[in-house]
Structure 1
Amino acid sequence: MSLEEFYDELNYVDASRENRLKYAQMILNDMSLFPKLIDVMFRVDDKISCRASWVFEFVCDHYVYAIVPYLDTFCNHIKKVHLDSAVRPVAKVCSFIAQEYNSKQPNTIKKVLKPKHTELMIEACFDWLIGDQKIAAKAYAMDTLFLLGKDYPWVHPELVQILEQDFQTQSAGYKVRAKRILKKIKN
């Protein structure tokens, strides 16, 4: 399938879980489509990039290691993602990566994730956290910053400061997640 054909196919992706899962399964069955998915996802001013992001999240949820060969591309471009419905799935994938990186079990992510990758994810997550993002993206950013911050002594104090500073003005969902993260940091 050419990039143009794949791009046209992404027009049929909708927000339903079943539909996103169907397209994720299509990619998982033909991983040659994965770099095309990433290409479309990072066309950040195109509404189809949101649909690509939804599918990307589902692919990574089922097989996070699909991203391994594309970590440079992913990390170098995540900061450019700005459409609300694309930021949330990208932030969630950052959270998946951080979870694997902090797993007690040896895995591929631990072997290949370099400081440049984690630093770019940390930077993007702080931007999402202090920016005008919706709660879901901020929640995934908090999780990622908590996990990756274990290797960067400056991250947790910055995270605590932002969470405490923004606490009173944020939504109930934000407050619940912030309390949980603050509690984890203090322990």
Structure 2
Amino acid sequence: MSALVDILNTVDHSREKRNYFANLILDNPQSLPELLSICEKVDDEISCKASWALEYLCKKNLTAILPYLDQIIGITSKVYQHPSVRPMAKIFECLIIAYYQKKSNEVNKYLTQTHREKITEICFDWLITDQKVAPQAYSMTTLYLLGTEFDWVHPELKIILENNYNMGSAAYKARSRMILKKLG
């Protein structure tokens, strides 16, 4: 077992532990590939903790993950455990918000059209499969923004939100209303 796995085993949902781990990776960027390798072990519970840590890292310094977007998107298409899906959906939301906020930022240099198309596909999958509300809510926001570029996304998003609205939780309905209002 590696030192990184040992440290990850101490990580929980507390802000303090996630912050400590994110700082550890930021101070030792050469360990980011190992963290991603741990995220890739989607059948192992440790991958969930690695995903939490990756999300916290992104919140602190989104640009740290940019050289690894191909790998992250590849990993995300395989994750299925909710404790991993939720942070990956949040990472996508952060990336897409950053991408559309300023057309000349660092994210725009790395996040290719192919990446954005794959993120669109993954987020739609999260909306139409049995997922908890958090990844679905993050996906709604992500897809709304992607729909400003890909004209087919908004009509599909609207249909899904309208069809699933009555079966959704209060949180799902709240985010749906917000997005549907923007869609007009």
Q: Deviations over 1:112-153 (max 9, x none)?
A: 211110111111111111111111110001111111121111
Question: Which one of 69, 74, 77 corresponds to residue 76 of structure 1?
Answer: 74
Whole-Å separation in 2 of the counterparts to 1:128 and 1:105: 27
1:21–1:58: 8 Å Cα contact kept in structure 2?
yes
SS across alignment from 1:152: coil
The match for 1:40 is 38
The structure 1 segments of at least 4 consecutive aligned residues displaced by more than 6 Å after TM superposition are none
Aligned length: 184
Are 1:17 and 2:3 an aligned pair?
no
The residue matched to 2:156 in structure 1 has which SS? helix
Cα pair distance change 1:120/1:105, threshold 3 Å: closer
TM-score by length of structure 1 reads: 0.95
Asked whether the equivalents of residues 146 and 181 of structure 1 are also in contact (C-alpha less than 8 Å), the reply is yes
Give 1:38-187 correspondences, 5 Å limit.
Answer: 38-104=36-102, 106-186=104-184
Contact 2:8 2:49 in 1 (8 A): yes
The aligned amino acid for 1:37 is L
Secondary structure of the residue that 1:102 maps to in structure 2?
helix
Checking the alignment, whether the CA contact within 8 Å between 1:75 and 1:121 is kept in structure 2 is: yes
The alignment-based identity, stated in percent, is 45
Deviates more, 1:86-95 or 1:103-112: 103-112
Cα distance, 1:21 vs. partner?
Answer: 1.1
